[in-house]
Amino acid sequence: MSHVAPLRYCLEPHDLAGHRCRVSLTIEHPDPQGQQVSLPAWIPGSYLMREFARQIETLQAYDAAGKTIGVHKLDRNTWQLAPCKGAVTIKTVVYCNDMSVRSAHLDDSHGFFNGTSLFLQVHGQEDQPCLLELLPPPANSTYQQQTWQVHTSLPEAKGWEGAAQRHGFGYYLAPNYDALIDHPIEMGTPTVASFEAYGAEHELIFTGIIPGLDLERIVADVKRICETQIRFFEPETQRAPFLDSSDRYVFMTQVLGEGYGGLEHRASTALICNRRDLPIKGRPEQSEGYRNFLGLVSHEYFHTWNVKRIKPAVFAPYDLSREGHTRLLWVFEGFTSYYDDLLLFRAGVIDQPTYLANISRTISMVHRNGGRHKQSVAESSFDAWTRYYRQDENSPNALVSYYTKGALVALGLDLFIRRETLDRHSLDDVLRLMWDRYGRDFYLGAPKGVAEDAMPALIHEATGVDAGKFLQLYAEGRHDVPLDKLLPIAGLRLEWRAPNNTLVGIDWRTRNQGEEVQVATVYEGGNAHLAGLSAGDRLVAIDGLRVTSSNLDSILGRYAVGDTISLHLFRSDVLRQFKLTLTAPGKHECHVVANARP
């Protein structure tokens, strides 16, 4: 077969020390009136304008004879090529030095690339197949990159001349632009393991130096999680969801000294975790950090169904040039946050006390912040771009998280459905109906997304329960989910306690900068607020005693509820003094407790 794919991309990691890639694109049939191309302004799953085009250092266009074509920029992301005859080639140099799951990173140890940072969208040809050539880094005795391998869920261009072998450099093929930018690519020498879940191949790769890594244990746990989720959505066929897009699923993890996060894709996920969170051979205890890592794995894998396939109508298809507003992120992130833990428990990866502790932590987090009475999870979803993703010192007073409160809406809804149907139905049925209606055939027909007002009817269809009022109050409205009334259905109850390490209360959140204590957040209505403190204040002394991050608790421990203390602090460079009356620590800590005999 000849290489006349309509769109041919080439990625060459050519300057490892300088973090630069050369990326070229040949358009076989450009718009004769002048082709427009652009780079996405955001990456699906992360709702903030990132303006990836700002990392393009140079961009030049050439006609088939190699003559330069005029280019001018139309807006922050879009280029207009001058009219020309025949194929055009656009050559860019892209700076790749962002160690996150959202963009691109290249150095002498590895490369990690999201297509949204590298590959130009050819306007009007988004449905054309995209052939991608991956070149190895330059041969250079300083580095050992000759041994680099490629890890991606993007399928090799089978049948094409120069097609990559598995894990090799060469040609890969995406059916369209949407797919091209949804299969991140890792190249380097990571630690690799693989397993099958119901016959579908899964690969786990870890980039970074990880002495003593207990890979066998991770494989065993992740396999149980994947199988449990596949059974959840496809109890009859046990068919993995990504098989329409790739013959494998890839968990690509960057292991760092500090970091946590993930981003979901149709047949892979990019994760960042702390080195200390990964299990060590010969140490069987389950650390909280490792549970968090497994929770992240569970969360991102669940997204393969819920948000990559079942998605809001506004994301089907994505418009990556501007914000896509939906009031439903509490379904896509909140439900996913509910099920990530629940399915760890159902998979037997965590025990019941651990699961209840996780729910308790989520309830405590939601109830700590007064912002939940100013914003509903539907409003928080809609404004994710400018509010949840752009948090500041006042966010706890002003915002609610569609992740954590969304998970409580899911928990409450699950219990509500179970109560109304005498346990014949649950939220599981709603997710399965949504998979059936929107997800399973997503890549086969015209993609259809979930309408903004569809949830009550979907819940009714799946379970027979009228949840309209419930959602009106707790998802569209700003009321607390009445878990105290609903948890007893599951033989559980809520207890509120004061954190047991707090002797007296100051309603602030502190940040330690070196030794210095700085006020991070002042809770609205709390004693720090009433005393006149402000976020940013740098604490100097309590009753004349110098305060540092290491002695703050021991100094406060000398006082009792009702005592008034004198605080010296710097606001900007002005020394100020405030009087603050200590209060009893608030009962902010929730504990979900199992009743002895339900």
Residue 43 identity: I
Nearest-approach distance from CB 296 to Zn ion, in angstroms: 9
Minimum CB distance to Zn ion smaller for 337 or for 521: 337
Number of residues counted as binding Zn ion (CB under 5 A): 1
Q: In this structure, what token pair is assigned to residue 592?
A: 């979900």
Please identify the residue of the shown chain whose CB is closest to the bound Zn ion.
Answer: 333
Cα(444)–Cα(454) distance, rounded to whole angstroms?
Answer: 22
Nearest-approach distance from CB 302 to Zn ion, in angstroms: 8
For residue 491, is it left (φ>0), alpha (ψ between -120 and 50) or beta? Answer: left
Nearest-approach distance from CB 378 to Zn ion, in angstroms: 17
Minimum CB distance to Zn ion smaller for 333 or for 341: 333
CB 145 within 8 A of CB 131: no
Q: What is the DSSP string of 41-103?
A: SSBTTB-S---GGGGEEEEEEEETTS-EE-EEE-SSSEEEEPP-SS-EEEEEEEE-B--SSSS
What is the edge-to-edge ordering of all strands in the sheet holding 88-95? 68-69, 56-63, 88-95, 20-27, 7-15, 130-134, 170-174
Minimum CB distance to Zn ion smaller for 103 or for 269: 269
Nearest-approach distance from CB 305 to Zn ion, in angstroms: 12
Binding mask 313-352 for Zn ion (x = CB under 5 A): --------------------x-------------------
Minimum CB distance to Zn ion smaller for 160 or for 332: 332
Minimum CB distance to Zn ion smaller for 79 or for 330: 330
Measured in whole angstroms, how far is the alpha carbon of residue 216 from the centre of its chain?
A: 26
Minimum CB distance to Zn ion smaller for 170 or for 295: 295
Minimum CB distance to Zn ion smaller for 335 or for 508: 335
Block residue for tokens 């909140």:
334
Q: In this structure, what token pair is assigned to residue 551?
A: 């002695």
Site residues for Zn ion, 110-129, by CB under 5 A, read: none
Nearest-approach distance from CB 50 to Zn ion, in angstroms: 17
Site residues for Zn ion, 163-202, by CB under 5 A, read: none
Site residues for Zn ion, 361-390, by CB under 5 A, read: none
Nearest-approach distance from CB 249 to Zn ion, in angstroms: 16
Minimum CB distance to Zn ion smaller for 182 or for 333: 333
- The 3-state DSSP class for residue 248 equals strand
Minimum CB distance to Zn ion smaller for 178 or for 333: 333
Strand bridging mode 130-134 / 56-63? unpaired
Cα(89)–Cα(7) distance, rounded to whole angstroms?
Answer: 10
Nearest-approach distance from CB 200 to Zn ion, in angstroms: 22
Q: How far is CA 481 from CA 45, 147, 352, 453, 473, in A?
A: 26, 54, 22, 20, 8
- The 3-state DSSP class for residue 241 equals helix
Strand bridging mode 268-274 / 248-256? parallel
Of all helices (H) and strands (E), which one includes residue 18? none
Q: Among 346, 117, 122, 116, which residue's Cα sits nearest to residue 228? A: 346
Q: Among 518, 580, 584, 579, which residue's Cα sits nearest to residue 547? A: 518
Nearest-approach distance from CB 101 to Zn ion, in angstroms: 11
Nearest-approach distance from CB 45 to Zn ion, in angstroms: 7
Nearest-approach distance from CB 361 to Zn ion, in angstroms: 17
Nearest-approach distance from CB 183 to Zn ion, in angstroms: 18
CB 256 within 8 A of CB 272: yes
Q: In this structure, what token pair is assigned to residue 519?
A: 């006020």
Nearest-approach distance from CB 89 to Zn ion, in angstroms: 38
CB 69 within 8 A of CB 61: yes
Minimum CB distance to Zn ion smaller for 333 or for 383: 333
Block residue for tokens 């090529």:
81
Cα(405)–Cα(88) distance, rounded to whole angstroms?
Answer: 50
> Burial of 17 by CB count in 10 Å (0-12 exposed, 13-18 middle, 19+ buried)?
exposed
Cα(90)–Cα(73) distance, rounded to whole angstroms?
Answer: 14
Nearest-approach distance from CB 299 to Zn ion, in angstroms: 5
> Burial of 575 by CB count in 10 Å (0-12 exposed, 13-18 middle, 19+ buried)?
exposed
Nearest-approach distance from CB 164 to Zn ion, in angstroms: 30
Q: In this structure, what token pair is assigned to residue 65?
A: 């004879």
Minimum CB distance to Zn ion smaller for 101 or for 471: 101
Minimum CB distance to Zn ion smaller for 333 or for 507: 333
Minimum CB distance to Zn ion smaller for 89 or for 404: 404
Minimum CB distance to Zn ion smaller for 177 or for 315: 315
Interface residue list for Zn ion (CB under 5 A): 333
